[in-house]
């Protein structure tokens, strides 16, 4: 059996050596650009061929085979490192580079330890420790190499990832096989001869895959992704922790003697307690985030995640969320891990005043929170002030006279971010010092400028909405006052006519009775106006109900007859669905307009006729009339009037009141020939309601 496995190993590794050797020659002779990654690819393939040949000739336990394995791994590690550095010509994060350096030192350690194995052949204990160390170093390298393969594939641009898929899959297969081989050897404390024998055959299969990958593509464009880099870091941390546990626990067992178990338990307990103490700490998490961003990521910020969080904080308030201005502070402070902040906004006098605080109650903000040059400085420069640099006189762009003393005197003040919108300062935000103190770099400044402009637009929009709401309230108030003034004008006109007619008819008893009724009606209307003006008036309009047209129109005519000559030719006894108060108001507007447009001796005609399923109440005069253009474009628009001193509200209000009762208002007019306004109201649903009470009784 052993002889058969030896032949399989020799044959498999021999074929692998031939295939990789042929692949190296082919790559070397290819007419392609001699880039750095291409040169290292040829070197890695050549070292792999040398490794397979050494095993085929000397066996896998020979010193030359161990040395060749380290060289092979070094060649592929260097190829990946060069491939990573060639990605879009950018500098890689230092800690990513340090992983490659660490694995290179692991390979160097392998070579040194493997060289010591023959020297300790006479001492079983030292030889066992050396073999164990060599095995652990190989396990460490396999884990680290797989992590880097995963990292290199994950950070490649999605549109070019297909070009490195096969090479990365080949390297993953090589080091996954190695990890299984070394792990089984470690756990069983025996050499798995079958796996050693099949190692050559596996490498012989990998060679054509690498050849196919070389044909498909020889260039790779890489771009570092924050989330992928963090997953790679997680794999490094987990793998390193597990390997550290195995190494230390086993070393304690070898060295510790009778106290080995106690030492192992103490080590496990100590590491667990340390993790429980450090991980919940906000300061530790902040420190870890800074170190990760500085060393593992090309960019400090994941801009997509930051922008989503930023917009969610400001634009999606919940039921229990903070006020808008506090959310604005939190949205910017969270970007830099600042624990608090304050927002200053300019008031109407051009001074910065405190608008809101967030987690920063200790800072004392004076009523006059700026100097005479603060607003102009930030509007002209949009400069982000870092107070530590300002205190050390290292900020050449900042005007010290623009920064008030209360800002620089507080040690917690870390940065001032101007919020500029169309060259106007809409606010100034002060950020408190983060838990882990650091300086602002170019990426911080760019990020704060962008979000500062965005927040400035939000503040400007909020202020515009506030101004618009205030203007709408004033407009609504003015509109209400205009309607009230119009009603008052109508009442004044009625009282003026009443006073003028009283001079001529004061001796007439019937006139005096009508005058008292008219005065009482005017007083009632004035009281109604006072109720409408009251802020506590929440009265709702009555819904339409059956109303007798004849009785309603006759009562209106009787009230207006004392003011002007009223005539009627036909008033049908019909029942309409309407609100009598609103009908009275509509006809009052129409009759008053007719009186204003007519001479004293010109009568006003009021009629009410049935028109299909409706009732048409007509108010006609023979006065000045209106042009067709005025009727079309201005009659029913508020504040447009053809009368001198008119408010232009009567016709508009009459039409709106008619619409509220599902009716309409029609108008016919001709200049110099008078006008006719017709109020159309729906009949009652049941025609029986239209019959007089005495007829129904009969």
Rounded distance between C-alpha atoms, residue 549 and residue 306, angstroms? 69
User: Is the domain of 154 the same as that of 15?
Assistant: yes
The size of the chain, in residues, is 698
Residue 509 burial (CB < 10 Å; 0-12/13-18/19+)? Answer: exposed
Q: Label residue 666 by pLDDT band (50, 70, 90).
A: very high
**pLDDT, average across residues 512-523:** 75
Is the per-residue pLDDT at 694 higher than 50?
no
How many percent of the chain have pLDDT more than 90?
A: 19
Quick one: pLDDT at residue 404? 92
Last residue of a domain, one of 202, 224, 246: 224
Closest CA to 604 of 652, 641, 557, 653: 557
Q: What is the dihedral of CA 53, 56, 61, 65, to 10 degrees?
A: 0
More confident of the two residues 519 and 177:
177
Q: What CATH number is given to the structural domain containing 218?
A: 1.20.1070
**pLDDT, average across residues 393-412:** 90
- pLDDT tens profile 294-310: 555 556 677 777 888 88
Does the residue 522 lie in any domain?
no
- pLDDT tens profile 550-599: 888 888 888 777 778 888 888 888 899 888 888 888 888 888 888 888 88
Quick one: pLDDT at residue 289? 62
- pLDDT tens profile 335-365: 888 999 999 999 877 889 999 999 998 898 9
Last residue of a domain, one of 190, 224, 258: 224
Q: What CATH number is given to the structural domain containing 356?
A: 3.30.450.40
Does the residue 436 lie in any domain?
yes
Most confident of 58-62, 68-72, 239-243: 68-72
Does the pTM surpass 0.85? The reply is: no
Quick one: pLDDT at residue 227? 47
Q: Tell me the two tokens of residue 100.
A: 């490659």
Does the residue 292 lie in any domain?
no
Is the per-residue pLDDT at 660 higher than 90?
no
**pLDDT, average across residues 44-71:** 90
Quick one: pLDDT at residue 275? 59
Specify which residues 428 forms β-bridges with.
344, 418
Is the per-residue pLDDT at 690 higher than 50?
no
Q: Label residue 235 by pLDDT band (50, 70, 90).
A: low
Does the residue 248 lie in any domain?
no
Task: Look at the block and give the residue holding tokens 């006098």.
Answer: 349
User: Is the domain of 197 the same as that of 318?
Assistant: no
Q: What is the dihedral of CA 182, 40, 144, 222, to 10 degrees?
A: -140
User: Is the domain of 60 the same as that of 199?
Assistant: yes
**pLDDT, average across residues 656-677:** 90
**Host domain of residue 546:** 540-697
Is the per-residue pLDDT at 160 higher than 60?
no
Last residue of a domain, one of 399, 427, 462: 462
């Amino acid at each position: 059996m052993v002889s058969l496995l030896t032949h399989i190993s020799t044959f498999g590794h021999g074929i692998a050596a031939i295939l990789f050797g042929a692949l190296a020659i082919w790559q070397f002779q290819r007419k392609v650009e001699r880039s750095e990654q291409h040169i290292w690819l040829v070197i890695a393939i050549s070292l792999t061929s040398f490794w397979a040949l050494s095993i085929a000739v000397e066996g896998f336990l020979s010193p030359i085979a161990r040395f060749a394995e380290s060289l092979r791994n070094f060649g592929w590690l260097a190829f990946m490192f060069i491939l990573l550095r060639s990605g879009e010509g950018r500098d890689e994060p230092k800690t990513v580079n340090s992983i490659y350096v660490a694995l290179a030192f692991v390979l160097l350690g392998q070579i040194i330890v493997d060289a010591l194995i023959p020297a300790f052949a006479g001492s079983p204990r030292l030889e066992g420790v050396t073999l164990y160390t060599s095995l652990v170093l190989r396990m460490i390298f396999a884990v680290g190499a797989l992590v880097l393969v995963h990292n290199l594939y994950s950070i490649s641009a999605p549109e070019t990832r297909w070009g490195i898929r096969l090479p990365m899959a080949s390297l993953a297969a090589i080091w996954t096989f190695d990890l299984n081989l070394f792990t089984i050897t470690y756990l069983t404390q025996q050499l798995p001869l079958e796996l050693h024998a099949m190692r050559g055959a596996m490498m012989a299969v990998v060679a054509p895959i690498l050849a196919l990958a070389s044909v498909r593509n020889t260039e790779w464009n890489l771009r570092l992704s924050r989330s992928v880099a963090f997953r790679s870091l997680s794999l490094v941390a987990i793998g390193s922790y597990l390997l550290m546990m195995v190494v230390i626990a086993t070393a304690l067992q070898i060295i510790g003697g009778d106290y080995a178990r106690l030492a192992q338990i103490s080590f496990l307990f100590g590491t667990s307690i340390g993790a429980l103490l450090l991980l919940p700490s906000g300061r530790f998490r902040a420190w870890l985030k800074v170190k990760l961003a500085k060393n593992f990521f090309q960019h400090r910020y994941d801009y997509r995640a930051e922008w989503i969080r930023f917009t969610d904080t400001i634009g999606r308030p919940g039921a229990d969320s903070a006020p808008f201005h506090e959310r604005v502070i939190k949205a910017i402070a969270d970007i830099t891990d600042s624990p608090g902040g304050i927002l200053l906004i300019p008031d109407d006098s051009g001074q910065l005043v405190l608008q809101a605080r967030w987690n920063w109650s200790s800072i004392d903000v004076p009523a006059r929170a700026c100097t005479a040059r603060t607003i102009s400085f930030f509007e002209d420069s949009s400069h982000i002030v870092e107070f530590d640099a300002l205190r050390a006189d290292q900020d050449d762009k900042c005007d010290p006279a623009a920064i008030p003393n209360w800002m620089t005197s507080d040690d917690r003040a870390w940065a001032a971010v101007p919020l500029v919108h169309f060259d106007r300062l809409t606010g100034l935000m002060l950020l408190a010092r983060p838990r882990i103190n650091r300086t602002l770099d170019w990426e911080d400044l760019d990020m704060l400028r962008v979000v500062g402009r965005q927040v400035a637009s939000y503040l400007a929009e909020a202020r515009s909405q506030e101004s618009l709401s205030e203007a709408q309230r004033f407009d609504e108030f003015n509109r209400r006052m205009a309607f009230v003034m119009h009603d008052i004008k109508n009442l004044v006109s009625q009282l003026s006519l009443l006073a003028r007619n009283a001079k001529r008819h004061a001796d007439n008893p019937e006139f005096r009775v009508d005058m008292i009724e008219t005065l009482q009606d005017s007083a009632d209307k004035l009281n109604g106006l006072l109720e409408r003006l009251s802020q506590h008036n929440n009265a709702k309009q009555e819904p339409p109900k059956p109303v007798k047209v004849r009785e309603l129109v006759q009562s209106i005519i009787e009230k207006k007859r004392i003011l002007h000559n009223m005539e009627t030719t036909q008033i049908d006894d019909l029942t309409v669905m309407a609100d009598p108060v609103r009908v009275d108001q509509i006809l009052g507007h129409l009759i008053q307009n007719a009186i204003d447009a007519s001479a004293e001796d010109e009568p006003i005609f009021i009629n009410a006729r049935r028109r299909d399923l409706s009732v048409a109440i007509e108010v006609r005069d023979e006065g000045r009339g209106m042009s067709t253009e005025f009727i079309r474009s201005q009659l029913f628009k508020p504040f447009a009037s053809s009368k001198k001193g008119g408010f232009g509200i009567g016709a508009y209000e009459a039409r709106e009141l008619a619409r509220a009762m599902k009716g309409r208002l029609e108008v016919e007019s001709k200049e110099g020939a008078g006008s006719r306004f017709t109020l159309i109201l729906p009949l009652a649903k049941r025609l029986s309601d239209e019959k007089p009470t005495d007829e129904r009784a009969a």
